[in-house]
Structure 1
C-alpha cells in the first residue's frame, strides 16, 4: 500500500474519520480490518486518525488505533502537531498518558516552537502538563534490571522495578506521599532495597544532566526521590517506629501555627544537595527559596512542585495538607481551614493539628465576622448612594425653553443662557 499523502483518502478511510468523530469503536475496528484502510492515513490537514481521536478525547478509540499500529510520533500535520500535542490540548490525562506510554516524544516542537507540555499549559490544561513533565517510561527503568557489561547482577532487582516506577510516576512530590508509597510496598520498605533504588535514582539523575539533551527537571526529581529514599533507609535502621516515625516528623507542626518545620528544612536540604551546582534550575530554586523565612510562603515544596510539574501557581486546586495530593475536598469539621484527601489523611495529621485547630477556628470566625461587617458597611454605603441619586431625580427636572429660535442657530455672541433648573410645579 502506498505511503499516505495529505488528503489522499479512500472512501473507507473517509468513513473511518467520520466513525472516529462519532466514537463508534466497534465500527472503527471493522473498518481498520479493511484492505484499503491505512491506520496512518492523512486528511487534508495532515491529521491521522490517532490525532483526531486524541483531540476529540476518545480514549477507547486511541487504544484501538495504537493496537493497529498507529504512529504516535507522526508529525505530518500542517503545523507540526503530534498526537501527544492533541492529547494535551484535549485535557484528557488518560489519553496523554496513553500516548506517552506508546512512545510519544515529549521534546518535539510544532511550527511555532512549542512542545506538547507548553501547548497544554498555553490552553490551561495543567493536569496534562503534569503528566507529561512527570513521565518516565518503564522501559528506561528496566534497563537497570539487566546486567550491563561485566556486571554479574543488575543494579536494580527486577522485583523492585514496579514499586520504584510507581514512586517515580507520582505527581505529588510531597515527601509524606513518597514515604507512604514506600511504606505500602513491603518489597521497597527494606534497607537494602532502598539503598539499591536510591543508587539507581542517582544514576538516572546523572544521566539526565550529562546527556546531549539535558533534562534538569527530571534530574532534580530523581535527586529528590533519592533523598527521600535515603531518609527512609536511615529511619528503618535507627528507629523502632520505622517509617511511621518519619511520617510524624514530616507532619509535626510548630506550636504557634502548626507549620511543618522539619519537612520544610528537609526539602530545602534536598535541593541544596543537588550535585550539579551550575544547573539553571537549581539556581532558580535557590533564588526563590533562600530569601523566604521558614514558615512563610512560598514553601520549599510548593516551589519545587511548581518547577517540576509545571503547575503555575497551582491554579484553583486544593492540596491535601497531609500528603499533598491534588483535588482534596474534605475539610476539618472544626476549624474548616485545613484540607484533606480523606479520613485516613485527617487521622494521620490529627496528632499535630489538634494543637492549633481551636486557634484556627477562632481566626476563621474572626475573619468571617470582619468580612461580614465590611460587606454590611459597603452595602449601606451603596444603598445611601442609590437613595441619594433617586431623591435627586425625583426633586430635580429641567424646564424646557419654549422661546428658543425654531431653526437657524443664533450668532455666538447672542447665544442665550441655558434654561434655568427649577422645582417642577405639579
Structure 2
C-alpha cells in the first residue's frame, strides 16, 4: 500500500477516526482488519489514528493501535506534534506511559521548539510531565543482565531487572515509599541484591553524565536510588529490626513538632554525595537547600522532588505524611493536622505521631477559633462597607472604600510567597553549602 498522504483517507479510514472518538474498540478492531485501512493514515492535519486516540484519552484504543503496528514516533502533523505530545496534552498518565513503553522519543520538538514534557507542563498536566521525566527504558537495565567483555557473570541478575525497573520508573521519590516497595518484593529485600542494584544505578548515573546529550535529572535520580539501596542493605546486615528499623528512623520526629530530622539529613546527604559537583542541577539544589535551617521550608525532599519529577509547588494537592503518596485524603481523627493515604500508613506513623498528636490538636483548635473570629470580623467589616456614611453638606457621591486584602488573604499570600520563593545564594555560598549541607548522618537511637 502506498505511503499515507495528508487528507487522502479511504471511507473505512474515515470511519475508523469516528469510532476512535466514540471509543468503540470492537468496531475499530474490525476496521483495522480491512485491507483498505492503513493504521498510520493521516487526516488533513497530519494526525494518525494513534494521535486521535491519545488526545481523546482512549487507552484501550491506543494499545490496540500499537498492536496493529501504529508508529508511535510519526511526526507528520502540521505543527510537528507526536502521539506522546497528544498524550501529555490529554492529561492521561497511563496513555503517556504506554507511549513511552512503545518507544516514544521524548526529545522530539514541535514547530515552536517544545518537547512533549514541555507541552504537558504548558497546559498544566504536571502528572504527565512527572511520568515523562521519570521514564527509563527497560533496555537500559537489560544491558546489565548480560555479561559484558571479560565478565563471567552479569552485573544484574535477570530476575532483578523487572522489580528494579519498577523502582526506577516510580514517580514517588519519598524514601519511605521506596523502602516499602523493596519490602514488598522478596527478590530485592536481600543484601546482595540491593548492593548489585545500587551498583547498576551508579553505572547508569555515570552513563547519563558522559553521553553526548547529558541527562543531569536522570543521573541525580539514579544516584539517589543508589543511596537508598545502600542504606537498606546496611540496615539489613547490621540491624535486627532490618527495613522496619530504617522506616522508623526516617519517620521518627523530634519532640517539639514531630519533624523527621533524620529523613531530612539523609536526603541532604544523598544530594551532597552526588559525584558530579560541576553540574547545574546540583548547584541549584545546594543553593536551595543549604541556607535552609532543618525543620523549615522548603524541605530537601520537596526541592529534590521538584527538580527530578517536575512537580510544581503551587499545585493544591495533599501528600501522605508517611510515604509521600499523592492524593492522600485520610486525616488523623484526633488532631486533623496530619494526612495519610491509607490505614496502614497511619499505623506505621503512629509510633512517633502519638507523641505530638495532642499538641497538634490544640494548635488545630486554636487555628479554627482564630479563623472563625477573623471570618466574623470580615463579615462585620463588609456589612459596614455596604452602608457608608454620607456627608449631608456635599452632593458629590462618596467613593466606596477599597476593601483591600483581608487578614486571612494577606496571610495566605505571604505564606504562598514564602513557599514559592527559593533562597538565593552566591556560587561561593553554594560551594560551601555543598560541604556543610548534610554533614554525617547518624543512626538515631531507638
Partner of 1:206: 206
User: How far apart in 2 are the matches of 1:378 and 1:36?
Assistant: 69
User: How far apart in 2 are the matches of 1:314 and 1:61?
Assistant: 34
Q: How does 1:235-274 map to 2 (within 5 A)?
A: 235-274=235-274
Q: Is the contact between residue 259 and residue 295 of structure 1 (CA under 8 Å) also seen in structure 2? A: yes
User: How far apart in 1 are the matches of 2:281 and 2:258?
Assistant: 30
Q: How does 1:27-38 map to 2 (within 5 A)?
A: 27-38=27-38
User: How far apart in 2 are the matches of 1:385 and 1:301?
Assistant: 46
Q: How does 1:62-211 map to 2 (within 5 A)?
A: 62-211=62-211
User: How far apart in 2 are the matches of 1:271 and 1:353?
Assistant: 27
Once the two structures are superposed, what CA deviation does each residue of 1:232-251 show, in whole Å capped at 9, x if it has no partner? 01111110111111110000
CA shift for structure 1 position 384 = 2.5
Q: Is the contact between residue 145 and residue 156 of structure 1 (CA under 8 Å) also seen in structure 2? A: yes
User: Which stretch shows the higher mean deviation, 323-332 or 22-31?
Assistant: 22-31
Segments of structure 2 that go 5 or more residues without pairing to the other structure are 397-446
CA shift for structure 1 position 397 = 11
Q: How does 1:49-68 map to 2 (within 5 A)?
A: 49-68=49-68
CA shift for structure 1 position 386 = 2.3
Once the two structures are superposed, what CA deviation does each residue of 1:139-164 show, in whole Å capped at 9, x if it has no partner? 22111111122222111001111111
User: Which stretch shows the higher mean deviation, 367-376 or 47-56?
Assistant: 367-376
What SS does the corresponding residue of 1:151 show, helix, strand or coil? coil
TM-score normalised to structure 1 length = 0.91
User: How far apart in 2 are the matches of 1:397 and 1:224?
Assistant: 72
User: How far apart in 2 are the matches of 1:147 and 1:322?
Assistant: 39
Q: Is the contact between residue 306 and residue 314 of structure 1 (CA under 8 Å) also seen in structure 2? A: no
User: Does 1 or 2 have the higher relative contact order (CA < 8 Å, sep 6+)?
Assistant: 2
User: How far apart in 1 are the matches of 2:368 and 2:179?
Assistant: 37
Say how many residue pairs are matched. 396
Once the two structures are superposed, what CA deviation does each residue of 1:4-29 show, in whole Å capped at 9, x if it has no partner? 11111112111111111121111111
CA shift for structure 1 position 314 = 5.5
CA shift for structure 1 position 217 = 0.5
What SS does the corresponding residue of 1:313 show, helix, strand or coil? coil
Coordinate RMSD, CA, aligned: 1.5
Segments of structure 1 that go 5 or more residues without pairing to the other structure are 399-417, 419-426
Once the two structures are superposed, what CA deviation does each residue of 1:260-284 show, in whole Å capped at 9, x if it has no partner? 0000000000000001111111011
The runs of 4+ residues in structure 1 deviating greater than 6 Å are 395-398
CA shift for structure 1 position 380 = 1.4
Q: How does 1:407-426 map to 2 (within 5 A)?
A: none
Q: How does 1:229-240 map to 2 (within 5 A)?
A: 229-240=229-240
Once the two structures are superposed, what CA deviation does each residue of 1:193-216 show, in whole Å capped at 9, x if it has no partner? 111110000000001111111111
CA shift for structure 1 position 116 = 0.5
TM-score normalised to structure 2 length = 0.87
User: How far apart in 2 are the matches of 1:267 and 1:173?
Assistant: 10
Partner of 1:310: 310
User: How far apart in 2 are the matches of 1:361 and 1:98?
Assistant: 44
User: How far apart in 1 are the matches of 2:246 and 2:86?
Assistant: 42
User: How far apart in 1 are the matches of 2:381 and 2:312?
Assistant: 38
User: Which stretch shows the higher mean deviation, 75-84 or 12-21?
Assistant: 12-21
User: How far apart in 1 are the matches of 2:24 and 2:72?
Assistant: 21
Larger radius of gyration: 1
Partner of 1:26: 26
